[in-house]
Every structure is written in structure tokens, then in C-alpha cells.
Amino acid sequence: MKVALAQLDPVVGDVVGNADRIEQAVRQARVGGASILLTPELSLVGYPPRDLLERRDLGPACVEALERLARSCGDLAVLVGTPRQVPGDPRPWRNSMALLRGGRIEAFADKILLPTYDVFDEERHFTSGGGAFSFSLDGRRVGIALCEDLWQADDVGGVRGYARDPIAELASAGVDLILAASASPFLRQKDERRGEHLRQVARRARVQLVLVNQVGANDEIVFDGASRVVDADGSLRARLPSFREVVEVVDLAGPPGSAAPAEEPLGELFAALCCGVGGYVRKSGHERVLLGLSGGIDSALVATIAAAALGGSKVRGVMLPSRHSSAGSLADARELARRLGLGALEEVPIEAAHRTLREVLQAPLGEVEGLVDENLQSRLRGVILMALSNARGELLLTTGNKSEHAVGYATLYGDMCGALAPIGDLLKTDVWDLARWINARARGLGFSEPPIPENSIEKAPSAELRPNQTDQDSLPPYPVLDLVVEGWVVEERSAEEIARSSGIPLEEVRRITAMIDRAEFKRRQAPPILKTSRRSFGTGRPMPIAARWRPASR
């Protein structure tokens, strides 16, 4: 028996376009001699559809697309991820797999476990399915599992305490093959956990297990694909490449085929960020991006990611010097643009506009100095960049990192302006590590030379908003700050636990965690952040803004 794995990159809401993509996969599966084609979870509408599911005309559009696909399948069985409406359900939809066979929609398998953690909120729209679903194909009993039915939060290290185990129910029903459709987001170092979970499930249920995972990026969520086939003894039969749309036919009876190797950790992170930027730009209907280039490491890394994702010719760099900008920083920005082959590099000085704004504010404020004056410069840069974005139809990428977002070391309507924050889930220490990794492997990544100037990596970080300024004038050293951010935001540990494990004085930990909590109002107004960690700022961490809770010991 041969199974075709359609590792697809759907566009959310594009039912017609996604159906066309599935129909193309059907043709490839038929050429490969497959008996069945498996597509990812909700492949007909893309994942996550969110409140697009509130559209009343979505249901009829999905039914029409499924009927068209069924007519095109011929003798090939096809499993298509789709929402479906069942009259009388307490919520309007079920998250389902449609079994298309013999020119018709033969049956539906409904997702049983509905995740409501992290970026998932499926109980908002979906009703849980009833019993486990199985069917016969080529003399085998085949069961269907949808994403959480298989993972049960284990792939992200969580324990949700579900009352049902859909995999055990399928095993009890006597299936010997499980086809699992998934839209499991990328997280750093998740791939190894995912592989081990699949091995354990296959051995425990004594079944062959075929997993097809969505690939690509939708809004802030990145999907890595890395679909797999695992035999009943837990051995790997096939692994599809990460971050690439592909249809592959796998023989479940013959000798195991070749398996695409997993990326090293920083390699998969770079691939995920490129996938995220490319998907966001393309799916929002744009072709080109721009960003401010300061000569610092953050903007250099974002420009490098954008150039790798889109091509350097589709990236515009803008230098926005003030009287505090150093000649070295401007030289670093120019050198970066040369190495990346940027489509354009512009210089728009802000000094005259800064001087005018200072004069305007003298009447209400008197002397304009300190933080007010620094933020004026940042906001002027934001205004200029947004004006260029509006005039040219180029998406503005913002360059802030997770460490800065955490403690509010960013200016609303200034350096936080933008359509997407590619490195907003990378700690500052991650930024340095990834920049060095890229430079060390430049040619293998398609660059003719190390793209990031060494000086941008090695010099002390500075916003250059006042004379001789460095980030550490206002912040703890980044290695210290990042330990606290990781402990407080990602691991949700107490200040005391962070202090004990890190050796950082408790009062310093409490000072930093208070900064993190106070900055929530800024983060609520930030652009979408590409999610690469277990806990990123944004939809997966919905914290209140006007809150007074503090640990009793603070």
C-alpha cells in the first residue's frame, strides 16, 4: 500500500486556491501509484482560521470545494482537512477530515480533543467529535487522528489531563494504520520531541503511523512540516523535508526510503524566520519590504532574514541619522547593504525635523530633554518609515528583539512601528548567536560572503539617542536580563526560583520582572511577532494590561 503525503502551505480563507493545491496533489499522488492522499488539518481553509469561521458563507464554500475535489479523485481515496457544520451542535463547526472516495464525500472523521492553550482556541468554534473513526482500504483497517488527538500536548511538553485518548480508542478498534493530519506549529527544538512522541505512540498502539503536518506561515505562526511515517516498532520509514511544500508517495510495505535530515537548532530557527517573513509578505499580497538600518545587530539580522526570504533586491534599507549617530554605525549599515545586495539604500537625516519638533514643544514643556527628547527621535524615524511604506507599498519590518519587548525598551509609534516583528521572539543573546551562525555558514545559505559586518556583532549595543549611549546604561547586562525573561515569561517561574537557579540577586530579579509586567501596554500595541519559542509575546500570552497582581513577596 502506498500513501501520498501532501505537506501543503495553505492560505487562510482561500478555499478555492487551497482546493486547487489539493487537486494538484491528487494528480501527483495518482502518478506515484498511491492508494490514498493525506492532507494536513483544515487544509481546505488553512490553520488557524480564527474568527473567519464566523463568516456565514464559509460553510457552503467548503462543501462546494469538497464536492468538486471528490469528482476529480477518481479511484484515489483522499482525506481533506475541513471545517464542517452539523445541525444541533452547541458550537457552529467541527474540525474534520473528509474522506473522498468513488466520486463522492463518503464520510467525515471529527477531531475529538480541542486544544485551548498557547495560540490555540478551538473550543471557541468547534464541537468535539464522538467516537474514533476508521475505514477499510486495501485490506487494512485505517484510523484517522487529527492533530491534538495524536499529540495530546506532549509535543510541547504539556500535560492537559484529557479524559479521552483517541489513539487508544483507535487501537482498541483494531486499526493497524493511523493517518494523522496535523497543523502543529514550529517551536525551537520541538522536532526531536515530536519524533520521539511518534515513536512511542506507534509502539504503544502497535500501528504504522503516518503524519502529515502543515508547512509555511500564517500570520505569526510558523509551521515546519517535517511530516513522517513511523513503523509499528517505532522505526522511521520516511521523513519529509522541513519548511518546504512537497507531495511524496511512501510505500508502507517495502524497505524504508530515505529520510530528510533534521536541521541543527540554529539552522531550523533561521529557516523558520525566513519562512515566517516570506509567508507573511506573500500571503498579505506584498512583494517588497523596507526597514530602518542603524548599523546595529538587530536591524542587520532582520535585513539578512528578509534578504534570504525574499531576495536582497526586494529589501529597502533606510538610514535615519541624527547628530548622535556615529560614523561607524552608518558605515556598518552601508556595508551590510552591499553584502546583502539590497535593492535600495536611502539616507534620510532627521536632524532638521528633530530641531523643529523641539521648538514646537518648548511652549508647553519648556526644555525638551531626557527621555522625551530620545523618544522624539525614535518617533520621527517611525513617521518617516511609515510614510515611505505608504508611498511605495512596501511592508515595514520592525527590528526589536524579545529582551527589549519584555522590559519596554522600545518606543511606541517609533521603533515599534511596522507590519511584522521577525525577531520579536529572540532574546538578545539569541540574536548574537544566530548572527554568528549565519556568518559562519554564509555560502551554504546562499550568501557570497558573511552578510553581517563583524562590527555590528561585536560593538556595544546602543540606540544612539544621546551622546555615548549604550543599552546597558538603562538595562542589566543582556545575559542577566535574558535569564530573567526566560524564567518569568517562558517558564512562568517565581522571582525566588529564578534567583536561586541563576545566582542573580533576588532584588534585581524582582526589579526586572516588575519592568516586564509594566510594559504589557506597549506589547499590546506591537506588530505581530513570529513565534519560535514556547511562550512568545502576542496571542499565545494574553496578559491583562491594567492588573495589580503581584507575588506576596514582592
The residue whose grid cell reads 511596522 is 418
Is 375 exposed, middle or buried, given 0-12, 13-18 or 19+ CB atoms closer than 10 A?
A: middle
CB 1 within 8 A of CB 35: yes
Is 307 exposed, middle or buried, given 0-12, 13-18 or 19+ CB atoms closer than 10 A?
A: buried
- Nearest to 216, CA basis, from 149, 266, 283, 265: 283
**Residue 41 designated active-site:** yes
Q: Distance (Å, rounded) from C-alpha 347 to C-alpha 369?
A: 25
Choosing from 41, 122, 464, 486, the catalytic residue is 41
CB 126 within 8 A of CB 110: no
Q: Distance (Å, rounded) from C-alpha 184 to C-alpha 46?
A: 12
Is 252 exposed, middle or buried, given 0-12, 13-18 or 19+ CB atoms closer than 10 A?
A: middle
- Nearest to 2, CA basis, from 237, 261, 260, 195: 237
DSSP character at residue 535: S
Residue type at position 92: P
241: left (phi over 0), alpha (psi -120 to 50) or beta: beta
**Residue 147 designated active-site:** yes
- Number of C-beta neighbours around residue 271 at 10 A: 20
Choosing from 62, 73, 111, 263, the catalytic residue is 111
Q: Distance (Å, rounded) from C-alpha 95 to C-alpha 45?
A: 11
- DSSP one-letter string for 13-63: T-HHHHHHHHHHHHHHHHHTT-SEEE--TTTTT-S--GGGGG-TTHHHHHH
- Nearest to 440, CA basis, from 311, 243, 266, 307: 266
CB 294 within 8 A of CB 345: no
CA 520-522-524 angle, to 5 degrees, is 70
Residue type at position 32: G
Segment (H or E) for 136: strand 133-137
**Residue 122 designated active-site:** no
Longest dimension (CA), the chain: 85
- Number of C-beta neighbours around residue 347 at 10 A: 13
Q: Where are the beta strands (DSSP E) in 307-353?
A: 315-319, 344-347
CA 410-416-417 angle, to 5 degrees, is 155
User: How many Cα neighbours within 13 Å face the side chain of 271?
Assistant: 22
Q: Distance (Å, rounded) from C-alpha 421 to C-alpha 507?
A: 31
Q: Grid coordinates representing 296?
A: 546595529
Choosing from 62, 73, 122, 147, the catalytic residue is 147
Cite the active site residues: 41, 111, 147
